[in-house]
């Protein structure tokens, strides 16, 4: 593979990632738009009640909005996995990657991803009772929405990179270096 083919492949993956993330953010926009237009919407209330009590970040100031956005944040690893399945054949490894470096990267990503997933998806956290930064995020609909969208993007990107590290390590071992 020459340099132009590699750059073209990387550009294709980046473009796919960008458009896929835009598509994944559409439900956020729909939920936020509906909530801003009609905070007491029966549709939103019914959806929030159907979701139940899943762990994650919640705000007592905006319980319905935070519950719905928190539920959607939980889909980030799954959507990252779907994108990874669609793009993993396009990804190329550097030829000079050693087995030790690959294992070290995989271990680091595993630890880091586990911490992110646990802290953001499996731990109950009330934003209004948290530290100053998290409390500030729950002050209004805009900052709360920004917080959940950022959280979704962080979890999505790190889940995607983690899957890439897993496949990359597998390829290094398969290559026999």
Q: Would you list the domain boundaries of the chain? A: 3-175
Q: pLDDT tens digits for 16-30?
A: 899 999 999 999 999
What's the chain's Rg over C-alpha atoms? Answer: 19
- CA distance linking residue 174 with residue 177, whole number of Å: 8
What integer pLDDT is reported at residue 177 of this predicted model? 44
For the chain, give the number of residues: 177
| pTM summary value | 0.89
What integer pLDDT is reported at residue 139 of this predicted model? 86
The parts of the chain modelled with pLDDT lower than 50 are 177
What integer pLDDT is reported at residue 1 of this predicted model? 54
What integer pLDDT is reported at residue 172 of this predicted model? 84
- CA distance linking residue 128 with residue 36, whole number of Å: 20
């Amino acid at each position: 593979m020459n340099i132009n083919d590699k750059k073209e492949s990387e550009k294709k993956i980046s473009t796919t990632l960008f458009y896929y993330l835009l598509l994944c953010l559409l439900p956020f926009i729909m939920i936020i738009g509906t909530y801003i237009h009609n905070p007491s919407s029966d549709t939103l209330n019914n959806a929030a009640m159907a979701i139940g009590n899943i762990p994650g970040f919640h705000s007592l100031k905006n319980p319905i909005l935070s519950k719905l956005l928190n539920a959607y944040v939980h889909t980030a690893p799954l959507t990252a996995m779907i994108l990874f399945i669609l793009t993993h054949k396009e990804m190329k490894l550097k030829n000079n990657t050693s087995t030790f470096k690959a294992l070290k990267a995989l271990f680091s990503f595993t630890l880091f991803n586990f911490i992110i997933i646990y802290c953001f998806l499996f731990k109950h956290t009330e934003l209004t009772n948290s530290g100053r930064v998290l409390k500030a995020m729950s002050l209004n609909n805009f900052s709360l929405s920004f917080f959940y969208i950022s959280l979704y993007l962080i979890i999505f990107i790190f889940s995607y990179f983690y899957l890439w590290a897993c496949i990359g390590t597998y390829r290094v071992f398969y290559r026999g270096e």
